Amino acid sequence: MSADPPPAGVVSVAYLGPPGTNSEVAAVRVFPAARHVPYSSVADAVHALERGEVSRAVAAIENSLQGSVTETVDLLIRDDGIAICGELVLDIEHCLMVRPGASHAGIAVIYSHPQSLGQCRDYLERAYPGVPTVAALSNAAAVAEMLRVPGSAAIAPARAAEIYGAEIVGCGIQDSRVNRTRFVVLGRAGAPATGHDKTSIAFAVAHDRPGTLVSVLHEFSDRSINLTKIESRPSREELGIYVFLLDIEGHRDDPLVAQALAAVKEQADFFRVFGSYPAWQPEPSAQP
């Protein structure tokens, strides 16, 4: 999505706070002219959207190193009152930071969001073997905690160091230079068709009959509809029962897509369309 003025009615956007998180960067990038409201968790941001306190919410849903952000995915599965109406992909650079003037040689504990800790696992094992890591609700919250605890460090974006006055002692510490996070924009309904769209769905089929998943996938392949993502999540009902998540090319109002979705719904024990929305396109300067 481009950094255009927000659509009419989008005056406030919820994100995982506090200020200084990558979620805030994504929210500002998508809606630069809106009011950006931090919440302590993705669930709180989504509930604020449902209550009408904000017009949109922005949440991370997938990382190129760590895979899906399960909190966001599970909220979409459980909650039919929200919909994906946009997406954005950000390049993520992690920095190690300490209290101003503190030595990074004697670090006794490192704080960060679980996703960021996972994305920097190789670096941490190599540079700080045996140093315990502690999960925080967000990277910015990790920085705030680090500033209160002598002998600690935090992993966060450089913007967090600027906001909170931390000292950066290492940048680009993620395990791969290609570290990207996909964020989704959440609203109360999907977006209208643009001609370059994606649709995200979730479904479950009978697990005790052979071929049920293959049958569903044929509904798309038989209509030449491309799948851009497929994964599964536990149903939370019983071990071995899964909800499948698909991203497909096209809008739910496109005739062939509509036919495929109707056929899948007919075969599914559980079915939900997360939304149709404009597919992210990188800026020309971001292309390899």
9: left (phi over 0), alpha (psi -120 to 50) or beta: left
Please check whether residue 235 is in contact with residue 241, taking contact to mean a CB–CB distance below 8 angstroms.
yes
Longest alpha-carbon distance in the chain: 63
Three-class SS of 191-258: CCCCCCEEEEEEEECCCCCCCHHHHHHHHHHCCCCCEEEEEEEECCCCCCCEEEEEEEECCCCCHHHH
Taking the CB of residue 226, how many other CB atoms lie within 10 A of it? 11
Between CA 158 and CA 31 the distance in angstroms is 21
Order of all β-strands in the sheet with 95-98: 133-135, 109-112, 152-156, 95-98, 167-171
Please check whether residue 219 is in contact with residue 177, taking contact to mean a CB–CB distance below 8 angstroms.
no
Altogether, the residues listed in the chain come to a count of 288
Between CA 282 and CA 276 the distance in angstroms is 19
Q: What tokens were used for 226?
A: 């491309």
Active site residues: 181, 183
Between CA 107 and CA 154 the distance in angstroms is 10
Between CA 280 and CA 30 the distance in angstroms is 11
